[in-house]
């Protein structure tokens, strides 16, 4: 028995039929077609599936799809404003903060949640904010630096896409 779920995805209306027990990650990827959140572990340990629900970071592999009914979901696929990258995306590009790119969408979501809430984080706050996101390539340092760089970018370019 499938359940209809309607929500906003990156500001636009979205709808899908969810199977009982189906998680948000699967509904976003296969039901809606937003492939930016990634499957890494399916058990809430790696952070590659991180999305924002009403502005808060969540691990979409552990969220039942039905629970986002009527809520606002954001993914890395919706960060850019047309061809204009979000300040975090620009900082990741210029700061070599991605290698294989698999953790990047989740990393960006965790960072965006932080900057939306705290536009001038300390280094420790950045590290804390991405502590649930694993990266096997970069050693984290370029990611931390990129997030700090984005936080120093002109204010109007941060958090303005949704």
Partner 1 sequence: MPVEFRKDLFADERDDNLAEIGKPHIRQDILGHVTGRSPFYDDHLFDGLLHMRCVRSPHHHSRVRSVDTSAAERVPGVVRLIRPQDVPVNLNTLLALLNFGRDDEPLLTPDRCAYKGEPIIAIIATSERAARDAVAQVKVDWEELPFVLDVEEALKPEAPMVNETYPNNTFDYHDRYDHQKLRFGDVEAGFAQADHIVEGEYQMSPIEQAPMETCGAIAAPETNDRFVCYTSTQALFFSVAVAAKQTALPSSRLHFIGGTVGGGFGGKVDSHHEPLAILGAMLTGRPVKYQWDRAEEMQVGAPRGAERWRIKDGVMRDGRIVAREFTGFFDAGAYTRLSSYAVQKCTGHIPGPYTIPNIASNVYCVFTNRTPSTAMRGFGITGVDFAIECHMDKVAEQVAMDPIELRILNAYRDGDMKAHRRSAKNCALIECCQVVAEKSGWALSADARAASSLRGGGVDWRAEIPETLTDQGGQIGERKRRALAPEPFAGVSQRHTVAAGSANEHPATGNAPQREDMVIEAERLGFKVSTGVPVSSAPIAPPTPPGVPVPYPNNARPPEQPDRDASTGPGLPPAARSAEPLLPRETVPQRPVAPPPAAVTPPPSPSQPTSADQAPGGPRPPRRPGVSRFISGPRGRR
Contacts with partner 1, residue ranges (CB under 8 A):
19, 30, 33-43, 45-46, 48, 75-77, 79-80, 85, 89, 92-94, 96, 98-105, 108, 134-137
Of 113 and 124, nearer to partner 1 (C-beta) is: 113
Of 40 and 57, nearer to partner 1 (C-beta) is: 40
As measured in angstroms, the least distance from the Cβ of 161 to partner 1 is: 12
The answer to whether 101 and 142 have CB atoms below 8 angstroms apart is: no
As measured in angstroms, the least distance from the Cβ of 36 to partner 1 is: 3
Of 15 and 70, nearer to partner 1 (C-beta) is: 15
What H or E segment, with its residue span, contains residue 53? strand 50-53
As measured in angstroms, the least distance from the Cβ of 117 to partner 1 is: 21
Helix axes 104-117, 87-94, angle to 10 degrees: 130
Determine the distance from the C-alpha atom of residue 8 to the mean position of all C-alpha atoms in its chain, rounded to a whole number: 15
As measured in angstroms, the least distance from the Cβ of 115 to partner 1 is: 15
- Tell me what percent of the chain is helix, strand and coil, each rounded to the nearest 5: 40, 20, 45
The answer to whether 19 and 2 have CB atoms below 8 angstroms apart is: yes
Of 104 and 149, nearer to partner 1 (C-beta) is: 104
Cα 46 from Cα 3, distance rounded (Å): 28
């Amino acid at each position: 028995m499938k359940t209809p779920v309607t929500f906003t995805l990156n500001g636009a209306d979205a709808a899908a039929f969810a199977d009982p027990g189906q998680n948000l990650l699967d509904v976003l990827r296969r039901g809606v077609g937003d492939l930016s959140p990634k499957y890494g572990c399916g058990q809430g340990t790696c952070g590659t599936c991180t999305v924002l629900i009403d502005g808060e970071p969540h691990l979409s592999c552990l969220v039942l799809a039905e629970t986002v009914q009527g809520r606002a979901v954001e993914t890395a696929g919706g960060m850019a404003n047309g061809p204009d990258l979000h300040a975090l995306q620009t900082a990741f590009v210029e700061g070599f903060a991605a290698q294989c790119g698999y953790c990047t969408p989740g990393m960006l979501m965790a960072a965006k949640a932080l900057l939306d809430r705290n536009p001038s984080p300390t280094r420790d706050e950045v590290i804390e904010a991405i502590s649930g996101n694993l990266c096997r390539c970069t050693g984290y340092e370029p990611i931390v630096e990129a997030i700090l760089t984005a936080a120093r970018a002109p204010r109007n370019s941060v958090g303005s896409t949704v």
